Chain A
Amino acid sequence: MTTTGIFLQVLQTLLAILLAPLLMGWVNQCRAWLQGRSAPPITQPYRTLRKLFHKDAVIAHNASPLFRFAPYIIFACMTLAAGLVPTIANDLPFSPAADVIALVGIFALARIFQALAAMDIGTAFGTLGARREMLVSFLAEPALLMVFFTASLISHSTELPVIVETLAHKDFVIYPSLAFASVAFWMVSTAENARVPIDNPTTHLELTMIHEAMILEYSARHLALIEWAVALKLFTYSTLGIAMFLPWGIAARGDLAALPLAVLVLLAKMTVGGAALAFLETVAAKLRLFRVPEFLGSAFLLAVLGMLIHFLLEA
């Protein structure tokens, strides 16, 4: 564990925390453009967060400590997750403590607290959201794990830095299995990030909500933390996708000179990725809830197919 390593670790985590609302703002802006609305400024999420932090928190009479505590846990989990994924440099001294399977576990931890907090007040919509969230997750989690497995089988490791190193800094090889995995990963990340076609982050109809229904009771700083965590989760998923499918540009271990370029490459990838997300959200329609198992089942099967293709063509 070197000083540079620790510096890079802290730098990347902070970068993720600070850039996450920007990505959210960019996606919102692109979507507004594509839908022919006048777009909010790209810094809108930061302003919303500041506003929320200044407000007085309103909490239901019967809220238990779990309810007040959950936003902090969720935010801490997402920070941790963001710190595990190489964004600009492949030097993460913290990553041996938790591999991709543990990463899935971190997301699960945050999700469970989110669902429990939603059930804590005891309103009909809170429990509805919790139930749907758990439904989506039990289908998405195995698929996500299969995507990770495909990448792990190629690089013989479940550590993200090793995966990035294998894909980006060794001989360039086309892996057909990763093509399958990337489609599956996109499907899973829409589900996990509560985006169209699984969930609609901008909806105001409680009956169609999943994620929003869970946080109906939150306000002020608690809501701000949750919103920030949501942005951070989207950012982390984007960097995960980049690390597994488009890792070129992430600086190799100990290669400090490549850092400025890496930051630029990251920003470029994020710009394109955010625009693509906005585009896909604009052309797709939200699925009926009971089509969701089919959608995620397909994601799962795609990931499995990717693995089988790996055995046939790449082993």
Chain B
Amino acid sequence: MSLTYHLQVVNLLAALLLLISFAMLSQRRIVGLVTLFAWQGAALSLSTTIVAWSTGQHHLYYSAALTLILKVLVMPWFFYRLVRKLDVNRDVEPMINIPTTMLIGIALVIFSFNLAMPISQMAGTVMRSTLGIAMASVLLAFLMMITRSKAIPQVIGFMAMENGLFFAATSATYGMPLVVEMGVALDVMIGLFVLGIMSFQIRESFDSMDLRHMEKLKER
């Protein structure tokens, strides 16, 4: 293999990203989920830094820093607070049992790896082979959102999806323009706060964070 060492490290981090995505699928507790989310952000930030350093794409440093601040520090802190305030840290059984979810996850990985193969051959970046992993983590985050019925895991799933997209952008085209990235980050932040406020509202209305209660809202 003729890859340089920093690229090998990026590959390793990409693999780690996928591993964390799977760990999130199988995590029953919300606090554990938040911790995993923070680790995923850290892996993402580190790999972006390495790519920035090895390719000389300076704007990636800013992206990495943004990721570090937002996704590793601010958001997990916010989530921890939310969980403590709402007192919702208990084992929650997902809607589909975990081994089945993981099997579906494997199928998704195979699917996205094969999907990414032709695309990554077109991309001109050094880390194009990780595109499949990025796609897989997007799909896995989506799967996590589907299988959870509580509000906070769904939000975390949404954030993890954003992580995957970010990684996809980095691996395919060395990241999105900085403006777009800032915009997305802002959107995510605003979404986060809206959801935080919503969570309190939901709990006040239903005395639970289970989103299945929302089904009552549909018109008959």
Contacts and interface: CB of A to CB of B under 8 A. Distances in A.
A312 interface: yes
Interface stretch (A173-181, A203-211, A264-272): A173-181
Interface string B10-37: 0110111011001000100000000000
A312 B99 contact: no
B74 interface: no
B18 A305 contact: yes
Contacts of A309: 15, 18, 133
A128 interface: no
Interface in A152-190: 171, 173-174, 176-177, 179-180, 183
A304 interface: yes
Interface string A298-315: 100110110011011110
Contact of A174 (B11, B99, B106, B109): B11
Contacts of B26: 294, 298
* Central interface residue in A294, A298, A302, A313, by most chain B CB within 10 Å: A313
Contact of A305 (B19, B98, B99, B130): B19
A297 B110 CA distance: 18
Q: Is the interface of B mostly helix, strand, loop or mixed?
A: helix
A10 B164 CA distance: 52
Contact of A313 (B98, B99, B102, B130): B130
B167 interface: no
Interface residues of A, number: 22
B99 A180 contact: no
A293 interface: yes
B129 A301 contact: no
B119 interface: no
Given A297-B99, A305-B18, A176 B113 contact: no
A38 B15 CA distance: 42
In this complex, the interface size class of chain B, counting residues with CB under 8 Å from chain A, is 20 to 34
Contacts of A308: 106, 109-110, 113
Given A174-B5, A180-B19, A294-B98, A313 B129 contact: yes
Contact of B12 (A179, A183, A293): A179
B129 A298 contact: no
B107 to A, nearest CB: 11
Interface in A186-244: none
Given A294-B98, A297-B99, A173 B8 contact: yes
Given A180-B19, A301-B102, A312-B129, A173 B1 contact: yes
B123 interface: no
Given A294-B98, A305-B18, A313-B129, A176 B11 contact: yes
Most B Cβ at <10 Å: residue of A173, A293, A301: A301
A303 to B, nearest CB: 11
Which of B15, B18, B129, B132 lies at the interface centre, i.e. has the most chain A CB atoms within 10 A of its CB?
B15
Nearest to B5: A174
Interface of B: 1, 3, 5, 8-9, 11-12, 14-16, 18-19, 22, 26, 98-99, 102-103, 105-106, 109-110, 113, 116, 129-130, 132-133
28 contacts: A171-B1, A173-B3, A174-B5, A174-B8, A174-B9, A174-B11, A174-B12, A176-B11, A176-B14, A179-B15, A179-B16, A179-B19, A180-B15, A180-B19, A294-B26, A294-B98, A297-B98, A298-B26, A302-B19, A305-B19, A305-B106, A308-B106, A308-B109, A311-B113, A312-B130, A313-B14, A313-B129, A314-B1
Interface of A: 171, 173-174, 176-177, 179-180, 183, 293-294, 297-298, 301-302, 304-305, 308-309, 311-314
* Top 7 A-B pairs, shortest CB-CB distance: A176-B15, A174-B8, A297-B99, A176-B12, A301-B102, A313-B11, A312-B132
Given A171-B1, A301-B106, 11 more contacts: A174-B5, A174-B8, A174-B11, A179-B12, A180-B15, A297-B98, A301-B102, A308-B109, A312-B113, A312-B116, A313-B15
